[in-house]
Amino acid sequence: MNQRPPQTSLHDLLFVLFKRKWSFLGIIVVGLLATAVWLFCIREDAYTARAKILVKIGQEQAPPSTVVGSAPLVMGSRTEDVNSEAEILQNTELIAKIVDEIGLDKPIPIPPPKPGFIPLLRYRVKGIVRTVSEWVDDKMVHMGLRERISPRQKAIALVQGGLKVQPGRESNVFSAELTLGDREGSAFVLNRLIAHYMEFRSKLYQSKGLELFQRSLDSNNAELNQAEEALQKYESVGDISLLQEQQAELVKQIAETEPSVKNAEIALNEAAAHVKRLDQELAKAEPNFGALGEFDRDSFPNATLRQIAQLQQEREALRMTQLDTSDRIQNNRQQLSVVVGMLAANLRSVLLEKENDYKIRKDNLDNLQARLMALHQQQKEWINLKRQSGGLEENVTFYRRKLEEARAESEVERRRISNVILVQPAIPPAQPSGLRKTWLLGLAAILAVILAIVWISIVEILDHKIYNEMALESQLGVPVFAVIPNGPVTLFRIQREQARHATGS
């Protein structure tokens, strides 16, 4: 005889739910409490500010304004231009500039909690969660599981993650959305980002020669100012205005000094020759002082030579009558020695005087020539400074003219490129972004109910115990005649058993 498989009735489901009622209610309550704590104490509200930007297409195809004649009507629509502007807005350089300008990388002071138990509880829980999160990050960085990044990099990543730029479909308008944790701050940061984007794109499309010529002009202007200051200082210190007169005067003095130096040199050579011949004669046994040469008529050496000649004549005359050892001849020799010594001293003193005179005149000539050479060098440096200043002035004139041309060209290009207009600035959002907390609580309740049912189903499948006579009948296949309760019996089960026995009798 085939047995029919056991069928589950609504009564069985209600019995299982009643049997597991505390688990069912516990899962729902825990889920709702966890969701409420996460929504109201842990989760930070995010606010999304929105702005819209219009890209006017077609102006870049128009001819320059300098072209004579009526401007033709230019129409065009290119999706690439809108997408390009959207990509420019998401430039990391712009975001970094906003972070540095506003100071998003600086720590924000946490405001004190509002009066009341719930605000204080939220404040405490958020503080604990923040502390635990920082501790976990530090531990992960310490263990090498995560790299430590600077607050500036975190702020840039936060703005990049919250910024979404979406080009409009079949439209020249693209929208920019920025999601941050501050209601007023999201709109302010987005508006500043768009302002920097406008300035950045204008520099991006302008002529590259404008920056080059401006930089070259500034550099040459600075060099020209330095050269002019150096030239003016050089002229004032070196008295350049009297340079020609100074050179003429020095040339005149040199011309006058050179003959005197030459004469002094000749006199020095003559005195040196006299001393040299004197030394040669003194080295002989019988010196002949007439070999010293000619002296001036009234000079001391000339008079001394005459005395020497007389003494030598007297000595020769005495030799005719007396011996060389006689007193008169010895006296003559002594007189001759004294006179010769006086002559030698005079010649050597004259030589020293001539040397000093020549040295003084030569030093004076060398000094005059050195001064003239310095004036020539000074004139050369002055001419070089004037030439350098003139060359820099020509460069400044050239770059100034090129800069004006580049500015005119840049202005023409600026008028021709695609115009971008902010049609809707960002305003502080009224509500946080995402689903409302009530909706999230409802979804959490539904998920908790589903999770509780799944849990009860799994536990019931794994539980093989018998809790009533129907389960026993289904397991044994024989009817149950009596039930002996073990423990408290509910009124519902007693009434049900009485009715069943009454029907069976």
- The arithmetic mean of pLDDT across residues 411-431, rounded, is 73
pLDDT of 482 reads: 60
Helix axes 92-102, 183-205, angle to 10 degrees: 130
Rounded-to-integer distance, Cα 380 and Cα 243, Å: 11
Q: What rounded mean pLDDT belongs to the chain? A: 76
Instruction: Quote the pLDDT of residue 380.
Output: 78
Q: Tens of pLDDT along 4-31?
A: 555 556 666 676 677 777 888 888 888 8
Question: What's the mean pLDDT in 265-277?
Answer: 86
Beta strands in 128-244 (DSSP E): 163-167, 173-180
Q: Please give the pLDDT value at position 238.
A: 59
Q: Tell me, what's the pLDDT at 258?
A: 87
Q: How far is CA 206 from CA 62, 199, 406, 407, 412, in A?
A: 16, 11, 10, 9, 9
> What are the pLDDT digits (tens) for 49-72?
888 888 875 544 444 444 444 444
Pick the closest to residue 306 from 322, 290, 320 (CA basis): 290
Q: Which residue has the higher pLDDT, 466 or 377?
A: 377
Domains, the chain, with CATH or none: 238-412 (1.10.287), 469-504 (no CATH)
Contacts (Cβ under 8 Å, ≥6 apart) of 268: 351, 354, 355, 357, 358
**What's residue 473's pLDDT?**
58
pLDDT at position 109 over 70? yes
pLDDT for the residue numbered 119 = 75
Dihedral sign for Cα 312, 314, 317, 321, please.
negative
pLDDT at 71: 46
The predicted model scores a pTM of 0.49
pLDDT over 60 at 189, yes or no: yes
Instruction: Summarize the confidence of residues 168-183 as an average pLDDT.
Output: 82
